[in-house]
Chains A and B, each alone.
Chain A
């Protein structure tokens, strides 16, 4: 089940620093949405709002407004653990656990109560197949995940997220540490996965955003110490060919950032 993610008048603070200013945005289910914008404009911050992990990377954070997943405000008395189970996250640097391939996938389902080995086996196989990794690792399920190549590790991380049946999949520059071939495979995978998940991907590559996303959000901060704002959001093709804001145009034609 994929869910819509909605930001309603969201301000976000790290301590006294306002990082995001009145964000209004609806991310559609079963679509790929790309976040683009210069470094420091708040893309990762917005992404981390969705699984509430900003509060893990910084000590004092504050959010005003509402963030809704499937119409439920996730900043109002929600259970953090079931929220994070519902929202998968893939990081910039592939970060498989220093465990076996099998354990990387089976760990989270087990934590969430799956006990039977045959069930776990099935989840592992299904998730790895879904992440287009099964054929390459089916004979080394018991090897360390760290022995895989970077691209394989990143797909393993995607499989690990999928294993707990999330509704939303967040990806923060998932290919920036990978070579072009591994990048292409991840991009193909993202296209396949969008049938089942709401996918948000942060990227610094205009080409990548243009290739794989349905909608694009452009963020910008007007300088150090200023909050990031959403400048434009719309269908990717329209944003790239006919941006409604001059700022967007300047950014995608490479004149700043």
Chain B
């Protein structure tokens, strides 16, 4: 398997607690549990993802795929267990030799390597396309405006929207909006890109445009990707590994050809049959 890149982020001077080393564990979930009320969504889940790896999560509705992505994005907190990225805990930090709940500023610093593209695009409707893409680089990363605009124009050209810089999101089709959202995510130079069913809200034709863009990005960058998708052919093309979830546990973890051609688990077989029947 490819995908052993050096972590892109420089070592921080504060010498963070190393949750683990090695590129094989760029993202690491250790004994993570999450419940909503009495509904146990993730149960003692452990897995890791290597730097530059592209991993697709599949599984029936409600199996916890979105929950995993939202936790990595820090939109949700685990009830127990730890999540770390590039050796740094996401929700914990060391103080006085002890692991304690992380401060907002710690979370924000670790989060700076991670970004997400959403099913509903979620562009900022109050900003034109170009500003949607430059806003975070300028105001979060502190890039000079013209430099950020140059880069944004490159990215928008990459996703095929070089002509729409001055449009408002409401003036774009869903597929165009989603491609802007992808450009916006890439503009912050993420190490980890999270994609949660990014084509589910789109007609097949528009979905295909978006998937083509993502294939391109997978080919040309070494960003680590966690994706949830029902587009199985796409998943097979871009991912290094596929994880099959069922009831908050990983029941199969294999390269896509094997997973799709000869699923071992009975639950995986029936799930794949149902997805393929649908499409």
Q: Do A and B bind each other?
A: no
Which chain B residues have a beta carbon within 8 Å of chain A's beta carbons? none
